[in-house]
């Protein structure tokens, strides 16, 4: 039995406004429309996401061949902390037609490295842990014992 996966990536600003950069990695030389967005072909690989036990540290990577356009785009994406929407779809191995959605993920572009042949883009949690109250864990009596109901709590 054969399986095939394809990936759509779309770069958006922190306010989730379109940047105009949207790519897919399975129809060479073609533009594919998915949910009203046109995705140009771009040769890239996606590592898939990993997370720690508390789900507060999420990471993944994109891998691309080095070229001037990708360097400029992903430098701006990292500098401006753009978000990247990643949709992985199941494909028919014979026709490469989409048969279903495998996953939809949202990451922040947190940085990149490159050498003479490969650009590696670091992706991380799109939430700011301080302002967005993430990871989603709160102090409860079960976790820490009795909690005061009056007075001040001093963190040092």
- CATH number for position 44: 2.30.110
Least confident of 41-55, 66-80, 91-105, 115-129: 41-55
How far is CA 66 from each of CA 42, 71, 138, rounded to the nearest angstrom? 12, 7, 43
From the CA atom positions of the chain, what is the Rg in Å? 20
Q: Tell me, yes or no, whether 15 lies in a domain.
A: yes
Higher-pLDDT residue of 33, 136:
33
pLDDT at 48: 74
**End-to-end CA distance of the chain, in Å?**
58
| pTM of structure | 0.74
For residue 150, is it within any domain? no
Which residues pair with residue 109 across a beta bridge? 123
Count structural domains, the chain.
1
- Asked if residue 154 belongs to a domain, the reply is no
Residue 132 lies in domain? 4-144
Averaged pLDDT score across all residues of the chain: 83
The answer to whether position 153 is within a domain reads no
Whether 149 maps to a domain, the answer reads: no
Residue 156 lies in a domain: no
Q: For residue 131, what pLDDT band results from cuts at 50, 70 and 90?
A: very low
pLDDT band at 154 (very low <50, low <70, confident <90, very high): low
Please give the biggest Cα pair distance in the chain: 67
pLDDT band (50, 70, 90) for residue 54: low
Q: Is residue 120 part of a domain?
A: yes
**Residue 92 lies inside a defined structural domain of this protein:** yes
């Amino acid at each position: 039995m054969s399986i095939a996966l394809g990936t759509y990536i779309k770069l958006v600003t922190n306010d989730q406004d379109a940047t105009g950069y949207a790519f897919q990695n399975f129809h060479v030389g073609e533009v594919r429309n998915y949910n009203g967005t046109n995705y140009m072909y771009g040769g890239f690989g996606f590592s898939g996401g990993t997370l720690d036990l508390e789900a507060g540290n999420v990471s993944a990577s994109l891998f691309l061949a080095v070229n001037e356009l990708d360097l400029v785009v992903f430098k701006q994406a990292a500098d401006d902390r753009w978000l990247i929407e990643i949709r992985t779809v199941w494909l028919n191995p014979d026709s490469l037609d989409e048969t279903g959605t495998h996953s939809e993920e949202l990451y922040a572009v947190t940085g990149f490295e490159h050498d003479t042949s490969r650009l590696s883009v670091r992706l991380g949690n799109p939430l700011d842990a301080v302002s967005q109250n993430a990871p989603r864990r709160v102090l409860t009596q079960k976790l820490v014992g009795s909690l005061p109901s009056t007075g001040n709590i001093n963190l040092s």
